[in-house]
Amino acid sequence: MLFKKLFRLLVLGGAMVGSASGCAGAAQGQSASDKKADDRDGGSPADGGSATAQDADGGAADAGGGGGVPGW
């Protein structure tokens, strides 16, 4: 029950907020660095990017991999 309510409140409610003011600009306007990322030049976690990305706090990556954000 709690989770169903959260899905409606956060996911569906958030999507409605997001669509309230028109659309974001299309990706054609992205910078060169964004295009590079889109081309996956940066690799994906599968090539080892994320495996060493976590510090003790789950914070920023130290080798280009992605990390996470701790919550409550």
Partner 1 sequence: MTDEVRRLAGAAWAFRARVEREASSRFVRLAAAIPAFDPGSPVVGLLRRAAADEDRHAALCADLAAAYGGPAGATPVDASVAPRTFGARDAVLYEMVAACCIAETESVATLATLLAGAAEPRVRSVVHEIARDEVVHGRMGWAHLAREAAVRDVSFLSAWVPAMLEGSVEPGIFSAGGPGSEPDELLRHGVLPSWRKREIFVGTLEEVVFPGLDKLGVPAAPARAWLTERLAGRVSPGGMR
The least CB distance from residue 41 to partner 1, in Å, is: 7
CB of 48 to partner 1, least distance (A): 10
Tell me how far, at minimum, the Cβ of 52 lies from partner 1, in Å: 8
Per CB under 8 A, residues contacting partner 1 are 2-4, 6-7, 9-11, 13-15, 17-27, 29-38, 40-46, 49-51, 53-54, 58-61, 64-72
* DSSP state letters, the chain: -HHHHHIIIIIIHHHHHHTTT--PPPGGG--HHHHHHHTTTT--GGGTTTTT---TTS---SSS--------
